[in-house]
Structure 1
Amino acid sequence: MWVPALPPTLETMLAPTLQPVPLIPVLAALMALAYLAGAARLWAANRRWPLWRTVVFLAGCALIAVTMGAGIEGYGLRMFSVFMFQQLTLMMAAPPLLILGRPGTLLLRATPHKGPGKLVLRLAHAGLRSRLSRFAIHPGFMIPLFLIAFYGVYLSELADTLLPTWYGHTGLELLFLAAGILFTVPLISTDPLPIRQTHFGRLIDIFSEMPLHAFFGVILMMATTPIVGFFANPPEAWGLDPVSDQGVAGGLAWSYGELPSLLILLFIMVRWQRDESRQSQRADADAEINGTPELDAYNDYLARLRRREDTPPAPTDSRYP
């Protein structure tokens, strides 16, 4: 793995410097090309596909490519703050952009129904119906996965074991991206899903997640010694204090991690209100056409009670007690 020699600056961090094996940037480029191919196929067939979804998905791919393919990746090998920025980007910032692009729907619409495309569609439908996909986006799995991505990795020996090697470092980054996608899909995705949560359930999920990285950020900012030994000895030429850099990482976990969560929360609330308005409008339209049987029956019941109250009692014969 390549580690920069110069001290970190904005220019050196954003410089296009690929690692010897740039796996994640290549995956991001392949995702972008595949998405563009699907969108172009629909446009060529005069079938609608929103341009804004294409732009949003490509922005997510570009964000991943820059975060993993520029000098940021090299500095993330020795700086906790940079690595935390990468983790939060992969888990919190990039997944919503990818998911808003509706790649699943594009796959189903753009894939040919003949030849190899038929096999792809069968695999896609099988994946939607599988128990594994239901389990992967269930809150009982994805929220503990979020806990592991922060507390399990850094407060144990796992980070010191994995980060020194290319396989471990890249594997952690892929884990962060997968965890972010699995967490975000049930919250904002409009693609076909094996299970779909209620709006209230989504609120519970996002409120359960928001304190996780915020509290972890507080732990990092309050620590007086390096928590992760791998980041305790940055290159001397960089002139960094590992404890101060760890505090910056905690500040990022507390602030940068909260912003995407807040935006997702607002997105859920707006969609909930919109869906409630649509249901109300459909109910009103249906009532105008078919009436409201339950309400009509209740009104008839009240009318019968009123008639009984207004009817005078029958006279009685005074000769009989």
Structure 2
Amino acid sequence: MDKPQRATGVVGLIAVGIGLAATLAALLVSLSGDGLYDLLGLPTPDAFTRHGLTVVRVLAEVGSVITIGSLLFAAFLVPPQKSGVLDVGGYGALRWAGGGALLWFVGALLSAPFLAADAVGRPVLDILSADTLLSLVGALSQAQAWLLTAAIALLVFVGTRFVLTWGWTTVLFGVALIGMTPVAVTGHSSSGGSHDMATNSLLLHLVSAALWVGGLIALLAHGRRAGANLPLAATRFSRIALVCWIVMAGSGVINALVRLPLADLFTSTYGLLVVAKGAALLVLGVFGYFQRERGVKAVVEKGAGGPLMRLAAGEVLLMLVTFGLAAGLARTPPPESAIVVPDRVELALGFPLSEPPTVSTLLFDWRFDLIFGTLTLALAGLYLLGLRKLRARGVAWPVGRTVAWLAGCLVILFATSSGFGKYAPAMFSVHMQTHMMLSMLAPILLVLGAPMTLALRALPAAGSDAPPGPREWLLALVHSPVSRALTNPVVALVLFIGSFYGLYLSGLFDSALPQHWAHLAMNAHFLIVGYLFYWPVIGVDPAPRRLPHLGRLGLVFASLPFHAFFGVVLMGMQTVIGEAFYRGLALPWNSDLLADQRLGGGIAWASGEIPLLVVLIALLVQWARADDREARRSDRRVDSGDSDELEAYNAMLKKMADRKP
């Protein structure tokens, strides 16, 4: 079979999978009848609109996983050439990503009018006039999310037409992952009780599913066209697939428990569909793992890719059918016992707040944040794993760095999952405390932990003739143009200080308050800009720009007036930031919003003292150690007679002597 026929076979397999998924989803929608519309109190649209919405969503979801999986394959599963240009396998995966992005774009673009027609109970053809469609889409956040997703998919598609290098392929991969978030954070999981848990678990579920399913499709396409480096790609993907399956299983269980009581799992149509989806994922995970390991072993030892490719084809087909099951589940009404009308606070935050914040509640009333809590545990675990590898080789590692890193992880966990994380969305003063912890204290501790240095020592080097691995990827990230630009002292200072003024004094914070995804974005932003600012200042890790110690000290002191002035501005304001949202919560212990805001301003003004002290101590210690090392090096050069300074001094004396008459 030649290569075009092989590629056609994979396309045909995907087409069959899409057809089965769409048919299954449409069948489930038909069986559910008008139950979902009756439950929501909405008029029932015609059959074409109902089934069409399900079909275009299947197209969009399949297109997204093909795009993300193919970009994953091109960036990390097959090595590029030494020049950084993608090799044949990476270029082929990039072409697949372009096709998937085009399918993703079409499905997402069509989802917006279908969703609008479904919401108002009218045929989709009746709302296609410009005025009607724009007004409906403007009133529906999820329709807007689909349009934003379509724009991101189009951007990725255009990028695949021009990108040829490894670096830009990784950028496209990141953009594609971002493209999955708009719909996830505006769907049914983003409303009602426990919507914080539901949204976070759905994000983890969708990303891990896209990496697993999409990566397998890309591996299958690569194997069918007899691409090189199949053993390497299969080995790397097998490790990723196991992690993705674990994340999918855990996040799926959490999402199901949030939506459905255990008693309804086997007594309702919705519950049975949840069980069926879970069973399919369990079978795929367990059976696929052992069979994949056997297939990978055969590829590595014997070069026989046929068994692995046949297994991959069957696994892809079953996965795509599971997508149809998930699409049908999204259109099936939950049982009445699972419908709980939350109160005003729970509807806005995702959880109730029944008592005012006290020292006890802030310290011990925890609600685990699935995104940042999981990230924190993963970062701590990876760091300890790297430390274990160093110790196994007899390599020493400073205890202070380990303590600093683990303390930084603990600060993130405490800021997002303790009572501070619970009360932060509801009270400006508590939010400001979490802001300070995430943007100032945690980044300082993390950069002192020297995670990149640890990773570079723990990870094995690929070698001159071996394909690049995680160590080489990390080095490429450190020395990339993006890292050089972001760690520029002026850029880092503007990002760090501008976050305070741009977020709170521009009205952006008022718009972000009602959205759970915006709180996730803010927390991520605080951590990233704080890390970028303190990395070149006190970071032990190699940085794209090495500042002199005096320049580092000047950068720290340059930020102090702006930080202090921001706190003073907040304390002197007569208008309440985010007043509409806070008034809507109507918390009895937070009636004086202006006083709470002034307290937040005082916290912003005063909380920089302790982090500043830590930075100054660390900077002075590093400066003294650097001078001590330089002095020892100079002494060694003098003792050996190779001192540049000594040679220069002797040359100067000789020149002066030659000038004398």
TM-score grouping bracket, smaller chain normalisation: 0.7 to 0.9
Give CA-to-partner distance per residue, 1:153-184, whole Å, 9 cap, x none: 00011101112111111101110011111111
Structure 1 position 10 matched with structure 2 position 359: yes
The residue number in structure 2 matching 1:89 is 437
Counterpart position of 1:258: 609
1:184 to 513, 534, 549: 534
Cα pair 1:79 1:231 within 8 Å, conserved: no
In the TM superposition, residue 190 of structure 1 has moved relative to its aligned partner by 1.6
The amino acid across from 2:620 in the alignment is: M
Structure 2 equivalent of residue 295 of structure 1:
649
Structure 2 equivalent of residue 161 of structure 1 = 511
Structure 2 CA distance for aligned equivalents of residues 230 and 173 of structure 1: 22
Higher helix share: 2
After superposing the two structures, state which structure 1 stretch, 38-47 or 286-295, moved more: 286-295
After superposition, residues 97-112 of structure 1 pair within 5 angstroms as: 97-112=445-460
1:211 and 2:561 are equivalent in the alignment: yes
Three-state SS of the structure 1 residue aligned to 2:469 is helix
Match of 2:376 in 1: 28
SS class of match (1:53)? helix
One-letter amino acid of the structure 1 residue matched with residue 494 of structure 2: P
- 1:38, 1:30 → 2: CA distance? 12
**Cα 1:3–1:133, aligned 2, differ >3 Å: closer, same or farther?**
farther
Distance 1:149 1:262 in 2: 22
Q: Aligned-pair distance for 1:139?
A: 1.6
Deviation at 1:58, TM superposition (A): 0.9
Amino acid at match of 1:53: R
- Summarize the Cα distance change of 1:239–1:136 in structure 2 as closer, same or farther, 3 Å threshold: closer
State the SS of the aligned residue for 1:141.
Answer: helix
Stretch moving more, 62-71 or 219-228: 219-228
Q: CA deviation at 1:29?
A: 1.0
* Amino acid in the other structure paired with 1:49: W
Tell me the CA shift for residue 17 of structure 1: 2.3
Give how far 1:60 is off.
0.9
- Structure 2 counterpart of 1:4, which letter? L
1:147–1:297 CA distance, 2 compared to 1 (3 A): closer
The residue aligned with 2:479 is 129
Q: 1:16 to 1:50 in 2, by over 3 A?
A: farther
Cα-to-partner distance string for 1:71-127 (whole Å, 9 max, x where unaligned): 21121111111101101100110111111111101111222457x995212211221
Cα distance, 1:2–1:79 mapped onto 2, change above 3 Å: same
Task: Please state if 1:247 is matched with 2:598.
Answer: yes
Which fold has the larger relative contact order, with Cα–Cα distance below 8 Å and residues 6 or more apart in sequence?
Answer: 1
Give the Cα–Cα distance (whole angstroms) in 2 for the partners of residues 232 and 8 of structure 1. Answer: 15
- CA distance in structure 2 between the aligned counterparts of 1:129 and 1:137, rounded to whole angstroms: 11
Verify the 8 A CA contact 1:231 1:242 in the aligned structure 2. no
Q: Distance in 1 between matches of 2:603 and 2:470?
A: 40
Does the Cα contact within 8 Å between 2:590 and 2:596 map onto a contact in 1? no
In 1, Cα distance between the equivalents of 2:611 and 2:627? 24
1:257-282 CA distances to partner (integer Å, 9 max, x unpaired)?
23212331332233223323432343
RMSD: 2.5
Deviates more, 1:169-178 or 1:142-151: 142-151
Change (3 A) 1:38 1:230: farther
Contact 2:429/2:603 (<8 A) preserved: yes
Maintained 8 Å contact 1:18/1:69: yes
TM-score by structure 1 length? Answer: 0.87
For residues 14-50 of structure 1, give each alpha carbon's deviation from its aligned partner in whole angstroms, at most 9, with x where no partner exists: 224225x531111111111111111112223332223
The residue that corresponds to 1:313 in the other structure is none
Paired residues for 1:56-75 under 5 Å: 56-75=404-423
In 1, Cα distance between equivalents of 2:353 and 2:578: 20
- Give the direction of change, closer, same or farther, for the CA distance of 1:49–1:118 in structure 2 (3 Å limit): farther
Corresponding residue of 1:146: 496
Q: Runs of 5+ in structure 2 lacking a partner? A: 1-349
Range moving further from structure 2, 136-145 or 281-290: 281-290
- Counterpart-to-counterpart distance in 1, 2:581 and 2:604: 16
Shift of 1:62: 1.0
Distance (whole Å) between structure 2 residues aligned to residue 7 and residue 117 of structure 1: 57
For the 8 Å contact 1:164–1:230, the answer to whether it is kept is no
Q: 1:151 to 1:117 in 2, by over 3 A?
A: farther
1:45 to 2:393 alignment: yes
| Equivalent pair of 2:387/2:454 in contact (CA under 8 Å) | yes
Tell me which residue corresponds to 2:170.
Answer: none
CA contact (8 A) 1:143 1:183 kept: yes
Over 3 Å off, 4+ runs:
297-305
Name the SS of the counterpart of 1:243 in structure 2: helix
**In 1, distance between residues paired with 2:417 and 2:595?**
26
Q: Tell me if the contact between 2:427 and 2:590 (Cα under 8 Å) persists in the aligned partners.
A: no
TM-score under structure 2 normalisation? 0.44
Alignment CA distance shift 1:239-1:133 (3 Å): closer
Give the unaligned 5+ runs of structure 1.
309-321
Identity %: 36
**1:259-278 equivalent positions in 2, closer than 5 A:** 259-278=610-629
Which segment is superposed worse, 191-200 or 116-125? 116-125
